[in-house]
Every structure is written in C-alpha cells, then in structure tokens.
Amino acid sequence: MVQKGVVIVSGGMDSVTLLYDLHKKGFDLHALTFDYGQKHVKEIECAKKNCKALGVPQTIIDMKFFSSLAKSALTVKEEEVPEGNYTDENMKQTVVPNRNMVMLSIAASFALSNRRDYLFYGAHSGDHAIYPDCRPPFIQAMKNAFNLCDWNRVRLEVPYIKLDKAEILRIGIPLGVPYEDTWTCYKGGKDACGVCGSCTERLEAFRIIGYEDPLTYTKR
C-alpha cells in the first residue's frame, strides 16, 4: 500500500533533496511551503518549481502574520542579515523564535485533516549549533506531542537529522536534484550573495564532495 505523507518544502537544498528522495521511494506526497514574510522569497519560487517538476501537489501557507509577531533578521527590514560562518554568535539573529514548532504544528494539522500518516521534515545536523528547534531533543519532544495531540496519529520523520549538508548532497546528486533550482541565501538579491552564513555553509558542502554548485553567486 502506498504511504501518504506531507513534506515541508522550503525550496532550500535540504528540503528539495528530501522531496526527490521520498518521491523516488514511492510515497504519495503533498508538499507544504510556508510564506512567513522571509526576505528570501526566491526559495518559495524554487519550492514551486520542484513540486511542479515532480507532479507533487503543493499548498503554500500564508503565514505573513508571523513576521509581525516574531522578530528576526530574516523578516525585519531594518535588520541586516549577518555575514560569516554559522558558528558565529551573531548568526543567532537569524532565529525566528519558535518558527519550526509553528510550521510543524500547522503541517500536522494538515496531515491529520487529510488522513496522511507521515510528516517529513528536512532538519539536519548542520543546523544544530544555531537553531535549538532543529536539534534531536526538540524533534523528540515534538514526536511526543504529536502522539498526544489528536485521536489519530501523525508520525514525524526527520530522516536527515544526523546528516550534514555534504551528506545530503551525496543523496541528492545521484537522484538528479536540480540544485540550480534550490535557494539557500538569506539575502533577497537576484543572485545568491555567497557570503552570508547560509551561502558559506552551502558552498563548503559542495567543496567537500568535489562537485560544482550550479547556482549563480555574486561572490564566491
């Protein structure tokens, strides 16, 4: 029997790899993409393009109200997106407080309403240092909450939680993921900036596996 799942697709390289990975494995998928007022709206376009390419139905959830409630450098116009490595203290400015719990809980609601048993989420180990809500103990706490929130169950699956971005690329490249149609940069430019924490981490992952990133960058 085909398993039905909901997959959160931001349009970044991790969630798009997950989309291709699950599609290949034969899941009946419905993709959810959250528009929470992020400056990097280009990632939403990438999410759309990839869902369409695979024929996966997608719902874009308008969460723009969120940017007025929760302040962070990713959503507040006056705040500059910090540059440099993710390990730097200032990258904590990019945390939208509790964003992931909000997205996961809405996605679970959608899964429960539509009788889809699985909820897939592409958090990975590279996020752990900066984002508390990408860490395994948080994921475990959410799994517990999902076991108790409804008469029906939704199974949260986070298959890349122990992988880093380079390992994710090693899954995605053989699957033919079009990485030129994935967006990682936190700035809202026409091309990826190549210097923000997110670009730095992505370029490093491609360097590690010895594969050229097909995306156009302003600066490498």
Of 51 and 192, which has the nearer Cβ to a second copy? Answer: 51
Q: Is 183 helix (H, G, I), strand (E, B) or coil?
A: coil
98 Cα distance to chain centroid: 14
- Nearest-CA neighbor of 10 among 63, 81, 55, 65? 63
Quote the CA–CA distance of 73 and 220 in Å, as a whole number.
23
82 DSSP assignment: P
Residue pair 19/9 in contact by the 8 Å Cβ criterion: yes
Binding residue for a second copy, selected from 7, 47, 91, 112, defined by CB under 8 A: 112
Q: How far is CA 173 from CA 39, 169, 210, in A?
A: 28, 6, 12
Does residue number 129 form part of the binding site for a second copy (CB under 8 A)? no
Residue range at the interface with a second copy (CB under 8 A); choices 145-153, 167-175, 182-190, 211-219: 145-153
Binding residue for a second copy, selected from 152, 207, 214, 220, defined by CB under 8 A: 152
32 DSSP assignment: E
Does residue number 109 form part of the binding site for a second copy (CB under 8 A)? yes
Of 47 and 203, which has the nearer Cβ to a second copy? Answer: 47
Closest contact distance (angstroms) between CB of 78 and a second copy is 15
Within residues 161-220, the interface with a second copy by CB under 8 A covers none
Quote the CA–CA distance of 184 and 200 in Å, as a whole number.
10
Phi-psi region of 105 (alpha: psi -120 to 50; beta: other; left: phi over 0): alpha
Closest contact distance (angstroms) between CB of 3 and a second copy is 19
Quote the CA–CA distance of 103 and 99 in Å, as a whole number.
6
Tell me, residue by residue from 78 to 97, as one string, x for binding to a second copy by CB under 8 A and - for no binding.
Answer: --------------x--xxx
Residue showing tokens 């997959």: 7
Binding residue for a second copy, selected from 16, 142, 185, 205, defined by CB under 8 A: 142
Does residue number 105 form part of the binding site for a second copy (CB under 8 A)? yes
Does residue number 77 form part of the binding site for a second copy (CB under 8 A)? no
Residues that bind a second copy (CB under 8 A): 59, 61-63, 65-66, 69-71, 92, 95-102, 104-106, 108-110, 112-113, 132-133, 135, 137-138, 141-142, 144-145, 147-152
